[in-house]
Amino acid sequence: MKRYVDERFIPIATQQLYQDLATRSFPGVIFYMAVWAALILPKAEYFFAEPRIHTTLILTAIISASAITRLLCIYTFRIQFKNHNTCNGNILLLGVIISSLAWGLCSAQLIMTASFQDAIASTMIAGAGLCAGGLASLAPSRRFLICFLVPMLIPSSIAILLVGHPFSASYAALSGLLLCGLYGISGIQRREYFNALESQYELEEKSDQLAELNTLDPLTGLKNKRFFDEKMTDEFNRAIRDNSPISLILIDLDHFKKVNDLHGHLVGDECLKEMSRALKAKFNRAIDTLARVGGEEFAVLLPTIHQDQAMALADKLRKQIEQISISCEDCDVSLTASLGVSTLYPSEESSAQELFKRADLALYEAKRLGRNQVARAPATDDYSGVTGRSTSSC
């Protein structure tokens, strides 16, 4: 597989391979039994006549049992994948070996039994047909194909050489040529199979990368407002199901418009990048969501975090922002931020918008108190004298 598929795709390609082999194997088992029936039934008066009837019945029972065993292996594989999401290819391989070995040995028995000499040609043709069918099903896996072809052809080839049939050398040579030819052809099919898989995975990877880019703010690398809104709703609903708290911190850089006006947008952009680095350093849980939700406004969504914890984290972040200093041509630019914290135990009567509104009011209060502050949302939805957010950022 390493010859055909990039290393980063090998685990998923291996899983897909085994699933495809399981899917392909089921019609293969039907074909397996159909070939045996086509060998026996058209000449039933021959195979079921004395002294051949007992051998025919025994061989039919062996072929049937091997087919049922292979079906059980396929079923076991699918159950394990469904219940445990594991792909144990050895289970499928066991079914392949049992069925092919059963056919090979039964064919050898027919060839070596004197009363079946008239059936040698049809037996060899049936085996060749099964090998061709096996190529169609098992070509993607070199290991599976070899474990099918060798037990299928070698026993009958040895048997026909031992009985001294007039064309035994020709039969054996043709079997060897068939084995080599089918193996060679399988390489082409295997390459096409894995090339198609790799193309599919590369397309999915690029699609995922594009989808990820659509969720990011290009300047800071944080999530954008659209993603944040969707994530906040999802996490809010999860908190309702889990009966757990959810906290939101809104951050607004103080007097950021003056930074842009006095030092230019390049310095302003660097301030935003430093802010995003500070957020990533402080909040690194996998379940936290960091986003840029406005020009100089940021949001941190904290599932399972209580208000006291959120307040402590917000104050640590405020102090860290105070340490940021951006060097420019004429001076160093320092930053401060105002932060609003809101925590809810969500219920069916509340909403994600309520969580955001409360944090928004708390942020307004932090700015009203003189900026470079952390304020928590009140017990109700409004402060005395507060009717909305200030629209000025300086």
pLDDT digits (tens, 9 = 90+) for 235-249: 999 999 999 999 999
Residue 37 sits in the same domain as residue 165 = yes
- The CATH number for 277's domain is 3.30.70.270
Residue 28 sits in the same domain as residue 108 = yes
Q: What residues make up the domain containing 83?
A: 7-210
Greater pLDDT, 3 or 219: 219
Query: Percentage of residues in the chain with pLDDT exceeding 70?
Result: 95
Residue 84 sits in the same domain as residue 26 = yes
Q: Report pLDDT for 8.
A: 83
Residue 270 sits in the same domain as residue 297 = yes
Residue 13 sits in the same domain as residue 151 = yes
Residue 298 sits in the same domain as residue 336 = yes
Q: Report pLDDT for 369.
A: 94
- At 333 the three-state DSSP class reads strand
Residue 264 sits in the same domain as residue 191 = no
Which residues are catalytically annotated?
Answer: 296
Q: Report pLDDT for 165.
A: 78
Greater pLDDT, 351 or 262: 351
Does residue 184 form part of some domain? yes
Residue 379 has pLDDT above 90, yes or no: no
CA separation for the pair 64, 236 (Å, rounded): 57
Q: Report pLDDT for 331.
A: 79
Selection from 330, 320, 365 nearest residue 259 by Cα: 330
Selection from 307, 293, 374, 378 nearest residue 337 by Cα: 374
Does residue 219 form part of some domain? no
The Cβ of residue 355 has, within 10 Å, a number of other Cβ atoms equal to 24
Question: Do β-strands 374-376 and 246-253 pair in parallel, antiparallel, or remain unpaired?
Answer: unpaired
What one-letter code names the amino acid at 119? A
Q: Nearest 5°: CA angle at 176, between 174 and 180? A: 115
Q: Give me the half-sphere count of Cα atoms (radius 13 Å) on the Cβ side of residue 378.
A: 10
- What mean pLDDT do residues 146-156 have? 95
Residue 41 has pLDDT above 70, yes or no: yes
Q: Domain boundary at 210, 244, 264, which?
A: 210
Does residue 218 form part of some domain? no
Residue 113 sits in the same domain as residue 49 = yes
Q: Report pLDDT for 392.
A: 33
| The length of the chain, given as a count of residues | 394
Selection from 219, 246, 238, 237 nearest residue 305 by Cα: 246
Question: Do β-strands 246-253 and 337-344 pair in parallel, antiparallel, or remain unpaired?
Answer: antiparallel
Residue 269 sits in the same domain as residue 340 = yes
Query: pLDDT-based confidence at 380, cuts 50/70/90?
Result: very low
Does residue 391 form part of some domain? no
> Which are the contacts of 238, defined by CB distance < 8 A and separation ≥ 6?
303
Q: Would you state the structure tokens that stand for residue 168, as one six-digit string?
A: 């035994």
Residue 170 sits in the same domain as residue 256 = no
Q: Is 211 exposed, middle or buried (0-12, 13-18, 19+ CB in 10 A)?
A: exposed
Which residue, chain included where needed, has tokens 């420019």? 328
Number of domains making up the chain? 2
pLDDT digits (tens, 9 = 90+) for 343-378: 999 888 889 999 999 999 999 999 999 999 999 997
pLDDT digits (tens, 9 = 90+) for 289-305: 999 999 999 999 999 99
Residue 168 sits in the same domain as residue 247 = no
Q: Report pLDDT for 299.
A: 97
Does residue 111 form part of some domain? yes
Does residue 283 form part of some domain? yes
Query: pLDDT-based confidence at 182, cuts 50/70/90?
Result: very high
Q: Please say whether the beta carbons of 248 and 359 come within 8 A.
A: yes
CA distances from 248 to 101, 228, 256, 357, 382 (A): 65, 11, 22, 10, 17
Does residue 79 form part of some domain? yes
Does residue 381 form part of some domain? no
Q: Report pLDDT for 384.
A: 39
- What mean pLDDT do residues 200-227 have? 90
Residue 95 sits in the same domain as residue 122 = yes
pTM: 0.65
